[in-house]
Amino acid sequence: MGFSLIEVLVALAILTIALTSVYRLQSLTYSMTAEARFHTIAPKLAQKRLAAIEREGLKNASDNSGDFGQAYPGYSWTVRMEEVPSDMITSDNQRLTRIDVTIEHNEERSYVLRTYRFHVQ
């Protein structure tokens, strides 16, 4: 007793559909893992960069960019700073600064941390 050609073709079609579904599921799992990893690491790197800015002092800080070296390959940062006018600040030596820290990974994903800092010059 053997299998007919139609039975073999139906079995191959079912196997093809099943393997295609498994491949798509694996591909989605990989991309979701990479996305989750980025959204876990990026906020920590943004906080690290913000801590470095505060350590250097806001008076000495300016717009800048760079990367995180071998520790985080593919990750880069950009800092944009802008003084924000406020009616509440009446002294000439007091400033309110908006700081935007952008973390990018291989120019595919990006994360922006925006914060405001009050400081005296």
Do the Cβ atoms of 117 and 99 come closer than 8 Å? yes
* pTM: predicted TM-score of the whole model, two decimal places: 0.75
- Across the chain, mean pLDDT equals 90
For the segment 24-33, what is each residue's pLDDT rounded down to a tens digit?
Answer: 888 889 889 9
Number of domains in the chain: 1
Do the Cβ atoms of 100 and 116 come closer than 8 Å? no
Helices and strands (H and E) in the chain: how many: 1, 4
d(C-alpha 58, C-alpha 18), whole Å: 58
Q: Which residues span the domain enclosing 59?
A: 5-120
Which residues share a beta bridge with 94? Answer: 120
For the segment 97-115, what is each residue's pLDDT rounded down to a tens digit?
Answer: 999 999 999 988 999 999 9
